Structure 1
Amino acid sequence: MTFSLPDSWVWDFWTAVEGDTVHLFYLHAPKSLGDPELRHRNASIGHATSTDWIEWTDHGRVLEHGAAGEPDASATWTGSVFRDPNGGWRMFYTGSRFLSPDASANVETVLAAVSEDLYAWRKDPSTRLSAAAPWYETLPDGTWREEAWRDPWIVEDPAGDGWHMLITARARSLDPDLDPEDRGVIAHARSQDLLSWTIAPPLSAPGAGFAHLEVPQLAEVDGMEVLVFSCDSTHLAGARSGERGGIWALPVPTNGLFGATPLDLGAAHLMTGDELYAGRIVHTSDGAALLGFENVGEDGDFVGRLSDPLPLRWDHDGRLVASRQEYIR
């Protein structure tokens, strides 16, 4: 069955596996808010466990918003969890701070928390990473409603040279011919110790047709690397305007995600439509699968619960597809 909560919407999520147990971390907000759009201002991070990716035991909230003036004063948003080589577990997550109750202006910051057992978490103030020039758009640039800097995904360097962070961001561009809507990029930061991070140029270029590339993930399916991200129909831009959005996949070139040339996002292909979102590749006992949250229902309303895993395979054209094609309408 899907993971859901009777009194709350559930959407973005990430996982960690320890032994036979899957630990699910998820965003949730109470349905009593009435309007699903208000969930973004009221999100906190919950925790559930499973041994089969289907049946879940919920353990409730593990992180919530901070005090006034803190970078997560409004809400705690999407991140990732992994085992810290120095011991315990580390979570990088997004802090959200809306500037006023009646405006959409929002500043996002990458923050961290630590845990010894994946159940009890405490915020770690040693990490606060923000968007900055020259590569990344900030709120004073005035071209977007928010300072996009969220959804951190951590990758160990394949050559053992520290760590990489993938981040949802927007490019800062002075090109007058570039559509302001068409500035979504995968931001990049590097670290040698997981505490101090250096911002690097983006891994992709703007102008690829995405206003944002949300919840990026680098994963492997049947020995081949793939970058997964989400962009819904309303946030496609440039040449992609008017097309269908959802969960996207981009096979990683042979020189790897961190090669010298930017990723060619023009080669990204759609795996699902807007009915599923914030897709993650997970590895079940049956193989690689796509897990997402149920986003838009048949009546057009927001659903807010997780899907069951959808088995994945590579087709003859080198495209990663979900086996249950009824999700792609």
Structure 2
Amino acid sequence: MVFSLKDSWVWDFWLADDGFTFHMYYLHAPKSLGDPELRHRNARIGHATSQDLSNWVPHGVVLQPDDPDAFDATSTWTGSVLKGPDGIWRMFYTGARFYESHNIEAIGVATSPDLHTWTKQPAVVIEADGRWYEKYGDSTWPEEAWRDPWVFADPAGNGWHMLITARANEGDVDNRGVIGHATSRDLETWEVRPPLSQPDAGFGHLEVLQTAVMDDRTVLLFSCGVDTLAATRPKGFGGGGIWSLETDQASGSYNVESAANVTTAQLYSGRLIRSRSGQWVMMACHDANSDGFFEGVVSDPIPVRWDPERGGLTLVAPPTSTAKAR
């Protein structure tokens, strides 16, 4: 069944596998807010565990705003989790500060010995660099986009890479979406670098980035909804917003203009993971239906394969219908 909470909407999520248990970290906000659009200003990070990627046990909130002067003063948003060579688990996550008409995003880190208890490390905060990236006020875009960090080891053993949802500081306002980039030698000190993709590729932003090595190919996955596609990109594919492309190397650069739409269903924020049987599957959050109703649940795992003819991921089975909230 899908993962849902009775009293909260659930949306963006990310996964970790300790070899025995799957861990899901997810954004959620109370349905008592009334309007699902308010969830972004009230997001907290929750935790759930599973043995099979289908049956999940929620464990409550693990990270939330707790300092009115911090980079995550308003909301804690999407991130990624990995285990460092020192044996410590690290969660790189987005912090948002909301103002009356806009929000500013930055990236921080929390650490854990066991994937259950997390401690923020306030000394590590990574912000957008105006040499390459749009800052709030550089255009009419209503935010300073610097979020959804995806962190992975350099394939050649030269430290660590972070892929970031970002916007270039030049180009048409609706067409500035790029893959931001930062690197580190030790997971502690980070250097912001130029983007790994070019603007004018058809996207206002590229959200919830992930790379995965599937068999003999490296795949990049990201999301972009119909309302944030550039005017230059056709919008007639019917919805969905999850995109994929094959890349020569995990650390870029990426030709995102060539990305193929994964699904036309109302799915967003897709994540790839290998099941215990070795099957690659994708999970995603159920976005708004055609009538505008926001479901706020996470799908069952959907088997996927690479389709060389269309140059992208293909769902092997249709997404599961919504189940009752837990």
- TM-score (normalised: structure 2): 0.93
The count of corresponding residues between Structure 1 and Structure 2 is: 316
Task: Kindly indicate whether the alpha-carbon contact (under 8 Å) linking 1:274 and 1:296 is maintained by their aligned counterparts in 2.
Answer: no
1:205-236 Cα distance to aligned partner (Å, 9 max, x none): 00000000000001122221100000000000
- Residue 274 of structure 1 and its aligned partner are, at CA, apart by 5.7
- Residue 316 of structure 1 and its aligned partner are, at CA, apart by 3.9
Stretches (4+) displaced over 6 A = none
Which amino acid in structure 2 is aligned with residue 319 of structure 1?
A: G
Taking only aligned residues, the RMSD between alpha carbons, in angstroms, comes to 1.4
1:77-112 Cα distance to aligned partner (Å, 9 max, x none): 000011121122100000000023xx2x00000011
1:268 aligns with 2:259: yes
Corresponding residue of 1:82: 82
Larger relative contact order (CA 8 Å, sep ≥ 6): 2
1:280 aligns with 2:271: yes
Structure 2 regions of 5+ residues with no counterpart?
321-326
- Distance in 1 (CA, whole Å) between partners of 2:17 and 2:306 is 24
1:284-316 Cα distance to aligned partner (Å, 9 max, x none): 134101110011225331110000011011224
Which amino acid in structure 2 is aligned with residue 273 of structure 1?
A: T
Corresponding residue of 2:324: none
Alignment of 1:180-219 (within 5 A): 180-219=173-212
- Distance in 2 (CA, whole Å) between partners of 1:189 and 1:302 is 33
- TM-score (normalised: structure 1): 0.93
1:229 aligns with 2:222: yes
Corresponding residue of 2:242: 247
Task: Kindly indicate whether the alpha-carbon contact (under 8 Å) linking 1:208 and 1:238 is maintained by their aligned counterparts in 2.
Answer: no
Q: What percent identity do the matched residue pairs reach?
A: 51
Structure 1 regions of 5+ residues with no counterpart?
none
Which amino acid in structure 1 is aligned with residue 172 of structure 2?
A: D
Task: Kindly indicate whether the alpha-carbon contact (under 8 Å) linking 2:299 and 2:319 is maintained by their aligned counterparts in 1.
Answer: no
Alignment of 1:25-44 (within 5 A): 25-44=25-44
User: Which moved further from structure 2: 52-61 or 136-145?
Assistant: 136-145
Alignment of 1:51-200 (within 5 A): 51-100=51-100, 103=101, 105-173=102-170, 178-200=171-193
Task: Kindly indicate whether the alpha-carbon contact (under 8 Å) linking 1:135 and 1:172 is maintained by their aligned counterparts in 2.
Answer: yes
Task: Kindly indicate whether the alpha-carbon contact (under 8 Å) linking 2:153 and 2:160 is maintained by their aligned counterparts in 1.
Answer: yes
Corresponding residue of 1:292: 284
- Residue 257 of structure 1 and its aligned partner are, at CA, apart by 3.5
- Distance in 2 (CA, whole Å) between partners of 1:197 and 1:274 is 37
1:301 aligns with 2:281: no
- Distance in 1 (CA, whole Å) between partners of 2:203 and 2:290 is 25
Task: Kindly indicate whether the alpha-carbon contact (under 8 Å) linking 1:247 and 1:274 is maintained by their aligned counterparts in 2.
Answer: no
- Distance in 2 (CA, whole Å) between partners of 1:221 and 1:160 is 19
